[in-house]
Amino acid sequence: MAQADRKDNVEPFVFPVKSPYKPENADIVLNGYADFLTQDPASSWVETLRQQGKARVEEFGIPSPKLERWKYTNLFPIEKERFKVQLPAILNPSIPDKLDGIESRLTIVNGIFQPQLSDMPEGLYCGSLKSFIESNDDWLRPYLESQDERVRQFDDQMLMDLNAAYMSDGIVIHVPKNVHIENTIEILSVLAGPVSSHPAILIVVEDGASLTLCERVIGDFGWQNRVNRVHVGSNARLNIFRTQTLSDKAYFTENTVVVQGRDSYLQMLTMTTGAALSRNQYHAFLKGENGECHIDGTYTITDKQHHDTTILIEHMEPHCYSNQTHKGLLAKNARGVFQGKIHVHQKAQKTDGYQLNNTILLSDTAEMDTKPELEIYADDVKCSHGATTGQLDDGPLFYMRSRGIPESVARKIMMQSFLGEVVDKIVDENMKSYCEQILDTWLDNVDKS
Amino acid sequence: MLTIKNLHSSIDDKEILKGLDLEIKAGEVHAIMGPNGAGKSTLSYVLAGREDYEVTDGSIELDGEDVLELDPEERAAMGLFLAFQYPVEIPGVQMTTFLKTAVNEIRKQKGEAELDALGFLKLMKQKCTELGIDQDMMKRPVNVGFSGGEKKRNEVLQMAMLDPKMCVLDETDSGLDIDALKIVADGVNKLRSENRSFLIITHYQRLLDYIKPDVVHVLANGKIQKTGGPELAQELEEKGYAEFERAA
Ligand SMILES: Nc1ncnc2c1ncn2[C@@H]1O[C@H](COP(=O)(O)OP(=O)(O)O)[C@@H](O)[C@H]1O
Ligand SMILES: [Mg+2]
């Protein structure tokens, strides 16, 4: 009876939902886009990818803190800089020597491959993305076209779209089936000048192959917004060790999409000391049984630096193992963000997922936001996560001092041992000592002033 | 060697030491005995320079130098050593690294040449053997996963390595079985010399059967209540501390 009285023609009042998107910001990042297209015309399928990317950027802008996964990282400082893409890069920055023990190096400057600054390795296919696009269409295309369905499901991938809009160059490394590359290969990525760059790095390690990569991201100015696509085939093995030591006037954002096959192994370890603002985002798909995925990192930042690590690991098949170990030191007004998630699909029984985020605040004004998450749809899994944020422990500090170790030395020892859990995972000895050196310098300077 | 006068100390605004006097001469071994909560560990921490213990009055001098002015590391370099009642775990820092840093930082502060890796290892090996410590322990992180006995032996090892002139041992006997106790006492006895003094803090008389003190003090309610010879320890073992706790 009561229902009959209801006036069906009156719509219930709904509060207007404020859109989390800022399409008005598209103009900022697409400023000069027409010039870019004229200077760097592309083949038809790349052109299509560019247009799709651009269309989405125009529709959604670039991510704002109103989006759930962007709550703690505001890209406003980058917007404010009004960076433009500049082509061609007529640049000859001074670059450091190759790392000890390294013979082959691939160098990009502002995202553009530099053959004259590179020493090509043998036994695999590699080189500039641009040259691969021009000559190697068929093999390459699916890797760049396929936006993985689930990556697409997230509505905050505008930085990937922006990268696609400017698709032009980058690096391709392709290790054929069953080929083991014994010598570590270095990637040197240089930011030079106050411009933006949007390179794509494609790394494909085919079934049964193996490779170790070291990468350094260096430079004084600019913004790199890159996409890494990492494919590790069945029984294949890939280690990537990276340092990002940009100046605190540079910006670094990246999206890494990982696809792993059966019995594959991936380790990707990133040490961050640089950039005014950086965000390393990873989305890994364990698509074959018994895959193993390590995504690790350290962040040691100071002053007004901001660093964000955002990870989603998807266990899609049974018996996979994943490990995220992330440790950081935040000094002065530094701000850190860690959002790590393990998603276990219903089918992925016997998943073993591990996640750890520990941060030490070295000042009262440093700040850490950490958000570990588990989403589990299988019933027979082992997942653990832990997050702590605290100060350097007084007890060990006093104990060491009572043994004659000066406070500054004692603090350094404690900070080193804190980060040691991650640093010790670097199995490439040369890269490890390079990383230790960088941390050493950072630690020596952080307690001063 | 060590002169403490009218020492008052508090933690969190609660006064623990309420006018403590103590004089230890070079080469002497003194024992401080007292009930739980008397302030024994507080005294040892104040001596070593722990920052959360506030000294509100009084003085501490080591060979005429004002100790209260100094940082913990400076006190260590002067030759003051505290064997902790509860040795601290330092995950991720290997014993060898820790000890080598300590030995060399003290040498640096004293203006002496640092030991090289070989010289250090030789010294460490010798001291480990003397104290019946397994060398493998030196590869483990400081005190992490050590048994109670291992921790206490490790304190004595550090003491032997750092060669201090004033050694304070805070309940080094607690938690030790009789064999471990003998090893520890033996280690201490070997270090006894006319230039080195000891302050042995203990709750039980047992340790003093193996390390013979010259002087015994009773600490209760933040003050030395009574001072005597070794026979005082025996007396306390029989009568307990009730008399002194009532006295205050
Ligand atoms: N960190 C602290 N905060 C507050 N009270 C403390 C602290 N440490 C010790 N105390 C108090 O000080 C008193 C003396 O403690 P302590 O010196 O450890 O005694 P003892 O070593 O003789 O057993 C006790 O009442 C204890 O509860
Ligand atoms: Mg005590």
Residues 6+ apart with CB under 8 A from A279: A73, A252, A253, A254, A307, A308, A309, A310, A337
b/e sequence B23-44, b meaning 16+ C-beta within 10 Å? ebeeebbbbbbbbeebbbbbbb
Contacts with A394 from chain B: Cβ below 8 Å: 52
Residues of B near A (CB-CB distance < 8 A)? Answer: 48-52, 71-73, 75-77, 81-82, 84, 87-93, 97-98, 101-102, 105-106, 109, 141-142, 158, 162
3-class secondary structure, A270: strand
Contacts with B82 from chain A: Cβ below 8 Å: 402
Q: Which of B51, B76, B97 sits opposite A404 (nearest CB)?
A: B76
Give which of B18, B37, B1 is closest to B225, Cα–Cα: B18
Candidate from B10, B12, B13, B16 with most ligand 1 atoms within 8 A of CB, to mutate: B16
Contacts with A409 from chain B: Cβ below 8 Å: 101, 105
Which pLDDT does position A447 carry in this prediction?
A: 75
Q: Are strands B29-33 and B215-220 parallel, antiparallel or unpaired?
A: parallel
Task: Break chain A into its structural domains and give their ranges.
Answer: 36-392
Contacts with B90 from chain A: Cβ below 8 Å: 396, 399-400, 414, 417
Q: Does A41 touch chain B (CB under 8 A)?
A: no
Q: Does domain B2-93+163-247 have CATH number 1.20.1260.10?
A: no
Tokens of A371: 């958000």
Q: Which ligand is nearest to the CA of B219?
A: 1
CB B222 less than 6 A from any atom of ligand 1: no
Contacts with A420 from chain B: Cβ below 8 Å: 92
Count interface pairs A-B at CB distance under 8 A: 76
Over pLDDT 70: what percentage of chain B?
99
Nearest CA to ligand 1 atom 26: B37
Task: Break chain B into its structural domains and give their ranges.
Answer: 2-93+163-247
**Which atom of ligand 1 is closest in space to residue B40's alpha carbon?**
22
Q: What is the ipTM of this complex?
A: 0.96
Instruction: Please judge whether A421 and B84 are an interchain contact, meaning their C-beta atoms are less than 8 angstroms apart.
Output: no
Which pLDDT does position A89 carry in this prediction?
A: 55
Candidate from B8, B36, B41 with most ligand 1 atoms within 8 A of CB, to mutate: B41
Interatomic CA distance for residues A298 and A78, integer angstroms:
23
β-strand partners of A416? none
Instruction: Please judge whether B71 and A407 are an interchain contact, meaning their C-beta atoms are less than 8 angstroms apart.
Output: yes
Contacts with B75 from chain A: Cβ below 8 Å: 402
B107-136 per-position pLDDT tens digit: 999 899 999 999 999 999 999 988 888 889
> Which residues are near ligand 2, the ion (C-beta closer than 5 Å)?
B 40-41, 85
Binned at pLDDT 50, 70 and 90, residue B247 comes out as low
Mind listing the pLDDT tens digit of every residue in chain A (449 residues)? 444 455 556 676 777 667 888 888 899 999 999 999 999 988 888 999 999 999 999 999 999 999 999 999 999 999 999 999 986 655 677 889 999 999 999 999 999 999 999 999 999 999 999 999 988 667 888 888 866 666 766 667 899 999 999 999 999 999 999 999 999 999 999 999 899 999 999 999 999 999 999 999 999 999 999 999 999 999 999 999 999 999 999 999 999 999 999 999 999 999 999 999 999 999 999 999 999 999 999 999 999 999 999 999 999 999 999 999 999 999 999 999 999 999 999 999 999 999 999 999 999 999 999 999 999 999 999 999 999 999 999 999 999 999 999 999 999 999 999 999 999 999 999 999 999 999 999 999 987 65
Which pLDDT does position A10 carry in this prediction?
A: 66
Instruction: Please judge whether B105 and A406 are an interchain contact, meaning their C-beta atoms are less than 8 angstroms apart.
Output: yes
CA distance A293 to chain B (A): 24
Instruction: Please judge whether A404 and B109 are an interchain contact, meaning their C-beta atoms are less than 8 angstroms apart.
Output: yes
The pTM for the full model equals: 0.90
Interatomic CA distance for residues B20 and B8, integer angstroms:
7
Task: List alpha helices for chain B, DSSP H.
Answer: 40-48, 72-78, 95-109, 117-130, 148-162, 178-191, 231-239, 242-247
Instruction: Please tell me the total number of residues recorded for chain B in this structure.
Output: 248
Tokens of B99: 């000890």
CB B42 less than 6 A from any atom of ligand 1: yes
Residue B11 predicted with pLDDT over 90: yes
Which residue is it, tokens 């913990």?
Answer: B72
Are A2 and A48 contacting, i.e. CB atoms less than 8 angstroms apart? no
Q: Does A55 touch chain B (CB under 8 A)?
A: no
Interatomic CA distance for residues B150 and B91, integer angstroms:
16
Instruction: Please judge whether A403 and B93 are an interchain contact, meaning their C-beta atoms are less than 8 angstroms apart.
Output: no
Are A189 and A214 contacting, i.e. CB atoms less than 8 angstroms apart? no
Are A377 and A346 contacting, i.e. CB atoms less than 8 angstroms apart? yes
Residue window 361-420, chain A: list those with CB within 8 Å of chain B. 394-396, 398-407, 409-410, 413-414, 416-418, 420
Q: Does A220 touch chain B (CB under 8 A)?
A: no
Q: Give the count of beta carbons closer than 10 Å to the beta carbon of residue A334.
A: 25
Contacts with A327 from chain B: Cβ below 8 Å: none
Mutate: best of A327, A392, A399, partner B, most B CBs <10 A: A399
Which pLDDT does position B184 carry in this prediction?
A: 85
Q: How far is the centre of ligand 2, averaged over its atoms, from the C-alpha of B132 (Å)?
A: 26
